[in-house]
Amino acid sequence: MYRDTKLDKAVLKEIEARGIRHIYHFTTTLNLVNIFRAKRILNRQALDGVDDSLSQGINAEVLALMDEHRFDGYRSHVNVSIEHPNIYLMERYKKDYDDPFNDWCVIDLRAEVIALKGTLFSISNAASSYAHKQGIKEGDHGLIALYQNEIKTAKGIFTRDGLDKRFPTDVQAEALVPYGIPIGKIQRISFRSEDSKATATALFKGVSDNLEAYLSLFDVDEKLFGLRSRA
């Protein structure tokens, strides 16, 4: 863990207690290039204001698609998932935007990113009416709320029976990190196949500085693109 005055110590303690080590954010390979040009994962609000030197890395069609499906209103935050990507939302995006040359990838971030002061926690998809009804909360109480024994949403009833202590009760639970996330917090970047990884590698030839360091983060992990296990 990083010692940082901007981090919430109570949230850090909860992260340690639950053994949380992986925070996930998914994006497309084209937008991944933009992340490394900008040196951070930008929130949606910041993406609207990037200059021309960065705009070539932004996939406007995907941003429009995300706006269409996101109704949480937190444009100054970056949406992330704890210990497993929100595969249901990712598949919904992929279904509406399927481009073999611009596949989806999963960014694995250090756990302390969700301890940044101002981070919000949503027990289900932050864009859902259920999440807004229950409240999207800050601090360790917000994080702990993700681990209730039972959560009822429009999609069904979720329980903790047999669920590893790291996993939120609802796989679509989210943390909303304010501002943006520096690329120094990235642990790895996973692709669903070797072909997808190869396509991303080719795109990164245009990112001249620290190319080898960036590519060393790439791997293939099919499990991150499938359903979450309970153990």
In a domain, 24, yes or no: yes
| Structure tokens that stand for 115 in this block | 């301890």
Instruction: Count how many domains the chain has.
Output: 1
In a domain, 2, yes or no: no
60: confidence class by pLDDT, cuts 50, 70, 90: low
Residue 65's identity, in one-letter code, is L
In a domain, 3, yes or no: no
Helix (H) or strand (E) holding 77: strand 77-82
User: Which of these ranges, 8-12, 88-92, 125-129, 223-227, has the smallest mean pLDDT?
Assistant: 125-129
User: Which has more pLDDT, 62 or 197?
Assistant: 197
Range of 31-45, 50-64, 156-170 with top mean pLDDT: 156-170
Other beta carbons within 10 angstroms of residue 64's beta carbon come to 10
Q: Above 60 in pLDDT, residue 66?
A: no
In a domain, 226, yes or no: no
Give pLDDT, residue 184. 95
In this prediction the pTM is 0.87
pLDDT tens-digit map of 42-53: 887 766 655 444
In a domain, 230, yes or no: no
Among residues of the chain, what percentage have pLDDT more than 90?
52
Q: Above 80 in pLDDT, residue 179?
A: yes
In a domain, 231, yes or no: no
Q: How many residues does the chain have?
A: 231
Q: Above 70 in pLDDT, residue 199?
A: yes
Domain, as residue range, for 187: 9-221
Give the mean pLDDT of 209-225: 91
Give pLDDT, residue 137. 93
Q: Helix, strand or coil for residue 48?
A: coil
In a domain, 42, yes or no: yes
Instruction: Give backbone dihedrals phi and psi of 133, rounded to 5 degrees, phi first.
Output: -65, -40
In a domain, 78, yes or no: yes
Give the C-alpha distances (Å, rounded to integers) separating 44 from 38, 53, 72, 163.
Answer: 13, 17, 12, 32
Give pLDDT, residue 96. 75
| Separation of alpha carbons 27 and 32, rounded Å | 7
Give pLDDT, residue 84. 97
